[in-house]
Chain A
Amino acid sequence: MDIKIILIRIKNGDQSAFSLVVEHFQRPLFGYLGRMGLTQSVAEEVAQETFLRAWNQLNRYDPARAQFSTWLFTIARNLALHELERSANKLENNDDEIILDYACQRYQPFEKLTQEQQSQALMTMLQTLPLTDRSALALAYFQEFDMASIARIEGCTVSAIKVRIHRAKQKLRLLLEEHDE
């Protein structure tokens, strides 16, 4: 997908060209939002809002300054963090439920859980990570991003990103091991 051509088409009044952007980025975006620990319905809202904001601010995008994906995921990150912070109290209130769900799955090793159960358990574990660590980890699994792009989105240095990803993975590994014991 050549974003420059799409931007020219949009500039010439072809709104439908934006559907190519949506098609191209929707899967990685949902992947990112899933790794951020958002539920399906909230992720759908955030993803839609991301594309709408991108549309409204399209003229602010400067190809010389950043890749389109970096720019788009910066919008998504800000919206996701806002949503997670907004619902933090709600999540705290639901903590008992989360622990209960997690406890129900403890009787069998993680490896033996079905894919769906594993995903569910992982999402519960992801929610225990600090937001900044979680966001860095979530971005790291999008193939198009290198460390420099992630650092740009997160607004910190590459070494800080490496530390965050390492810390997040280590915690998840520990949680998985605890789950298996």
Chain B
Amino acid sequence: MMNKTLDTLLNSDLLSVPDNFTDQVMKEIYQLPMPTPRQTWKKRLQWLAIFSSAALGTVELFSFIFGIWIATAAY
């Protein structure tokens, strides 16, 4: 008997949802920015690959210029 009473009570609405609750929340939502896209691991890896390649390319270029300079400065 007590179990049934307890279950009924716990299943009942102890609090009520205000009539305009959805409007109230949506009013706040409209003032917020759209959720920003999540950076996935794949995207992060892609960016990492681009930056690493760019860095390597720059090093290659400078070492080439340095090589030319060394070769020409010797004479």
Cross-chain contact B14 with A22 (CB below 8 angstroms)? no
> A40 contacts which chain B residues (CB < 8 A)?
15-16
Cross-chain contact A23 with B22 (CB below 8 angstroms)? yes
On whether A123 and B14 interact (CB within 8 A), knowing A15-B34, A59-B36, the answer reads yes
Which partner residue on chain B sits nearest A52 by CB separation? B28
Cross-chain contact B24 with A48 (CB below 8 angstroms)? yes
> B35 contacts which chain A residues (CB < 8 A)?
10, 55-59
A63-71, A80-88, A111-119, A146-154: which lies at the interface: A111-119
Cross-chain contact B38 with A59 (CB below 8 angstroms)? yes
Docked CA distance A97–B9 (Å): 23
Cross-chain contact B26 with A19 (CB below 8 angstroms)? yes
Docked CA distance A44–B17 (Å): 8
Q: How many residues of B contact A (CB 8 A)?
A: 28
Q: Is A136 an interface residue (CB 8 A)?
A: no
Pick the contact of A15: B2, B24, B29, B36 (CB < 8 A).
B29
> A177 contacts which chain B residues (CB < 8 A)?
2
What residues make up the interface of A, taking CB atoms closer than 8 Å to B? 10, 13, 15-16, 18-19, 22-23, 26-27, 30-31, 33-35, 38, 40, 43-44, 47-48, 51-52, 55-60, 110-111, 115, 118-119, 122-123, 137, 141, 169, 172-173, 176-177
Jot down 26 A-B pairs with beta carbons below 8 A, ordered by A: A15-B29, A15-B30, A15-B34, A18-B29, A19-B22, A22-B21, A22-B25, A22-B26, A26-B22, A30-B15, A33-B15, A34-B14, A34-B15, A48-B25, A51-B29, A55-B35, A56-B32, A56-B35, A58-B35, A59-B35, A59-B38, A119-B12, A122-B14, A169-B6, A176-B6, A177-B2
Listed from nearest, the 7 A-B pairs whose CB atoms lie closest are A34-B14, A34-B15, A59-B38, A58-B35, A59-B35, A30-B15, A22-B22
